[in-house]
């Protein structure tokens, strides 16, 4: 139901718009947040798991009892330790990123990168070709040990099955993409700053929005296939395709069979997911093969119904508008904070002004802190939309899936058991990190939602 690159998530838009200039897309923190997003493809760092027989397959998901999220004692212990450590890793990663950037500034490393770039050529675009990759790769190499540690633990907890060669290849592809996007964004920001030193935040905002939309449009064609293999869903699961077509017609957003794809997720992960992604001609339904292996066809239909809710309820454009407003405020705050910060420490850091390439490290530092502080706002908005999509999924599958509420509840149970979702997340963590309501709450709601038996009108699907 959720995916880090899914375009209706304004958090992705904000991440792209604010941090591409400096090459960090928050993947370490995205991995942490995956626990708050039970359908996510990311892996979670966690503490050492209790010793047990190697490669033991997860226990079969248990049916919900009295509408509650129930785990065996072994899975419960793993879910708690795995997810709670992930929360810790989130805050640790933020702190380490901030510390690394401060060190780059305090030791004059950022200024040295700028000097090297300027010594090669007087042209700004050539300087950017040197400075930006140096900065991006330096920051990401510093963060690499944390990423490696997270993958080790995800393998130990059997969330991931990706071999190290494949993982390192994916990491390398990420770096190349980050460098490419960061170069585009840095050159755009540099040109705008030079033309309008006092209004660059506004013009950058106007320029960033279409860039982000274009990325969302091309991502299913050009970016996603770099990391996973896709095949037409109809080639292997004709009955499921027919059921999804029936559901999408009922929802009023018909998606033809040629827009449905199977992702070979089992080559890299044991987690389950299904999502709707793309924009316009690139819009499509994607089902992970792990979902088909571990969930029933009806449970998969409920997951698709949830995703259709984001389209029908206008969450794509509502989320985009919310993100745009947050970006506008963020860019203005960044403009003010940059001038204040340079006014105090530019001499110590050997930075000559906002147009100095070394000032991009300051921008990255401010973005890092700003995104951390904005997380509760972003995730609070997202939880509202996700709950509405749950309601829509329950309503659109009513009458199509027998006992749809029980099916929905069981789908959450399957997801929780397979993905080790936290059964009792702390309230502060839910407030700060969770983009979805806690899985246990979603399961209880799915089990109890039944306006039809009470003679009430459903909220969305009349």
**pLDDT tens, 241-262?**
999 888 888 888 888 889 899 9
Q: What integer pLDDT is reported at residue 12 of this predicted model?
A: 37
List phi, psi (to 5°) of 165: -60, -45
Rounded Cα distance, 134 and 140, in Å: 10
Catalytic residue among 299, 307, 368, 378: 307
Rounded Cα distance, 126 and 366, in Å: 25
Rounded Cα distance, 46 and 54, in Å: 17
Q: What integer pLDDT is reported at residue 34 of this predicted model?
A: 41
104 closest CA partner among 345, 362, 383, 277: 362
Rounded Cα distance, 101 and 97, in Å: 6
Rounded Cα distance, 190 and 359, in Å: 11
Contact 326, 11 (CB under 8 A): no
The dihedral region occupied by 420, where left means phi > 0, alpha psi between -120 and 50, and beta the remainder, is left
DSSP summary character for residue 220: I
Q: What integer pLDDT is reported at residue 63 of this predicted model?
A: 52
Contact 203, 192 (CB under 8 A): yes
Q: Is 237 helix (H, G, I), strand (E, B) or coil?
A: coil
- CB-based burial of residue 309 (10 Å sphere; 0-12 exposed, 13-18 middle, 19+ buried)? buried
Cβ neighbors of 37 (< 8 A, separation 6 or more) are 2, 435, 436
Q: What residues pair up with 398 in beta bridges, in sequence order? A: 401
Rounded Cα distance, 105 and 349, in Å: 6
Q: Is 458 helix (H, G, I), strand (E, B) or coil?
A: coil
Cα dist from 298 to 216, 303, 342, whole Å = 29, 9, 57
Neighbours of 295 (CB within 10 A): 24
Strands 284-288 and 274-277: antiparallel
Strands 284-288 and 260-263: parallel
Two tokens at 233? 């869903």
pLDDT < 70 regions, the chain: 1-66
Q: Is 24 helix (H, G, I), strand (E, B) or coil?
A: coil
Confirm whether 355 is a catalytic residue: no
Whole-structure pTM value: 0.83
Rounded Cα distance, 338 and 37, in Å: 33
List phi, psi (to 5°) of 274: -155, 145
Q: What integer pLDDT is reported at residue 196 of this predicted model?
A: 94
> What helix, strand, coil percent values describe the chain, rounded to 5?
70, 5, 25
């Amino acid at each position: 139901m959720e995916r880090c690159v899914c375009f209706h998530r304004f958090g992705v838009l904000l991440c792209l718009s604010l941090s591409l200039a400096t090459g960090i897309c928050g993947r370490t923190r995205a991995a942490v947040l995956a626990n708050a997003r039970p359908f996510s493809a990311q892996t979670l760092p966690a503490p050492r798991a209790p010793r047990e027989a190697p490669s033991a397959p997860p226990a079969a998901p248990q049916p919900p009892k009295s509408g509650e999220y129930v785990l065996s004692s072994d899975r419960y212990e793993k879910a708690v330790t795995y997810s709670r450590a992930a929360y810790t890793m989130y805050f640790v990663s933020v702190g380490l990123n901030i510390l690394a950037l401060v060190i780059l500034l305090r030791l004059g490393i950022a200024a040295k990168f700028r000097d090297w770039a300027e010594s090669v050529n007087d042209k700004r675009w050539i300087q950017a070709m040197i400075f930006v990759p140096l900065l991006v790769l330096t920051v990401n190499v510093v963060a690499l040990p944390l990423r490696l540690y997270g993958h080790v633990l995800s393998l130990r907890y059997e969330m991931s099955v990706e071999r190290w060669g494949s993982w390192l290849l994916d990491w390398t592809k990420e770096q190349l993409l980050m460098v490419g996007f960061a170069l585009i964004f840095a050159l755009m920001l540099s040109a705008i700053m030079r033309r309008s030193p006092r209004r660059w935040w506004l013009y950058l905002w106007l320029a960033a929005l279409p860039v982000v939309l274009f990325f969302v449009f091309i991502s299913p064609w050009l970016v996603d296939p770099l990391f996973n293999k896709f095949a037409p869903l109809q080639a292997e699961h004709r009955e499921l395709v027919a059921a999804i077509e029936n559901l999408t017609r009922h929802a009023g957003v018909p998606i033809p069979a040629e827009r449905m794809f199977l992702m070979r997720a089992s080559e890299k992960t044991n987690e389950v997911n299904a999502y709707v992604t793309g924009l316009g001609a690139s819009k499509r339904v994607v089902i992970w093969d792990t979902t088909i292996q571990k969930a029933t066809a009806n449970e998969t239909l409920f997951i698709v119904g949830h995703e259709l809710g984001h389209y029908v309820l206008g969450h794509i454009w509502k989320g985009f508008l919310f993100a745009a407003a947050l970006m506008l405020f963020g860019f203005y705050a960044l403009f003010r904070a940059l001038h204040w910060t340079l006014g105090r420490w530019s001499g110590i850091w050997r930075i000559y002004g906002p147009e100095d390439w070394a000032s991009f490290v300051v921008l990255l530092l401010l973005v890092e802190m700003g995104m951390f502080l904005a997380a509760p706002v972003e995730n609070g908005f997202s939880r509202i939309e996700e709950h509405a999509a749950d309601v829509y999924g329950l309503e659109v599958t009513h009458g199509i899936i027998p006992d749809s509420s029980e099916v929905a509840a069981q789908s959450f149970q399957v997801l929780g058991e397979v993905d080790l979702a936290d059964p009792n997340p702390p309230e502060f963590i839910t407030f700060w990190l969770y983009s979805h309501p806690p899985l246990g709450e979603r399961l209880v709601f799915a089990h109890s939602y039944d306006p039809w038996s009470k003679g009430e009108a459903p909220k969305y699907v009349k």
